[in-house]
Amino acid sequence: MNERTRSPIKDKPLRLPGRGLQEERQQLWDDKLEPALLLALVFFLMALLEWWRAWREMPPSPWIFTVVAIAFAGFAAYRFHKYRPRMRTLRQGMDGELAVGQYLERMREQGYQVFHDVVADNFNIDHVLIGPAGVFTIETKTWSKPVKGDARVVYDGEQVLVNGREPERDVRVQALSQGRWLSRLLEESTGRRLAVQPVVVFPGWFVEAAPGTQRDVWFMEPKGLPAFLARQRSQPAPEDMKLAAFHLSRYVRVRARQDS
């Protein structure tokens, strides 16, 4: 009996941590690396075929295909050399977001809702935490550490220094932008103005923040987050947090359908 069927799953699952980086990494492979590798493979096979024909004393010469194969092999090697660092960086970022995401999943036991890789306007929010202490955007910075010596992130209230150097991108501005975007989204969807606290975490780094600087943006190692949440004096209304989690979940699912 042939009947049309459909999936029993009505909505797509929520995105996993690191999904945006995974997609970027896959696109990099599909667009830049795989075509070069396939071209090199094809022309090497053609060269082998011509060498076989030459060995069998057949008229065609293999030299033309050999030269072409070598040229495309060089092109493929160039592509791999050029994009391998970016592939490695994306992989490291994915691992960091997965590790932080798995750590945040434990917060569900404390009444928090966790959302990973929330797609916004031309950027992604790595994680969003909604629960008893409020609403939090969490940006993960999985930066490479020196093999030896100090690995320290210092925040003085305005500037972030990584082992004494300022990163290329202003992390504080990025985190504030994420918080403002989520605040506007929740206000538009719920009709209530909810405070959103931006957080930046640095897995594996020692984070040193000057006293009084952890206000507009929190900077910390991921394991320090529960202590910060526990110290929050202002407790938002539970019904507001449930409403925020519901509307963000709906937004994520609608966005997933639009992007599919």
Q: Which of 21-35, 124-138, 168-182 has the lowest mean pLDDT?
A: 21-35
Q: How many CB atoms lie within 10 A of CB 57?
A: 6
pLDDT at 9 (0 to 100): 44
The total number of residues shown for the chain amounts to: 260
pLDDT at 6 (0 to 100): 46
- In three-state form (DSSP H/G/I as H, E/B as E, the rest C), the secondary structure along 139-179 is EECCCCCCCCCCCEEEECCCCEEECCECCCCCHHHHHHHHH
Q: How many CB atoms lie within 10 A of CB 203?
A: 19
For 40-74, the pLDDT digits (tens) are: 888 888 788 878 877 877 766 667 767 878 888 89
* Whether 214 and 253 share a structural domain: yes
Report percent pLDDT > 70 for the chain: 92
* Whether 89 and 122 share a structural domain: no
pLDDT at 4 (0 to 100): 58
pLDDT band at 11 (very low <50, low <70, confident <90, very high): low
**What number is the average pLDDT over the span 29-46?**
86
pLDDT at 7 (0 to 100): 44
* Whether 134 and 168 share a structural domain: yes
Give the residue from 93, 121, 140 where a domain finishes: 93
Domain count, the chain: 2
* Whether 71 and 164 share a structural domain: no
pLDDT at 10 (0 to 100): 55
Give the residue from 43, 62, 93 where a domain finishes: 93
For 198-237, the pLDDT digits (tens) are: 999 998 888 888 887 778 899 999 888 998 898 887 789 9
pLDDT at 190 (0 to 100): 93
* Whether 206 and 251 share a structural domain: yes
Mean pLDDT of the chain: 85
The whole domain housing 39 covers 19-93
For 104-129, the pLDDT digits (tens) are: 999 999 999 999 999 988 899 999 99
Tell me if 105 is assigned to some domain: no
| pLDDT of 1 over the 80 cut | no
Q: How many CB atoms lie within 10 A of CB 202?
A: 25
pLDDT at 8 (0 to 100): 39
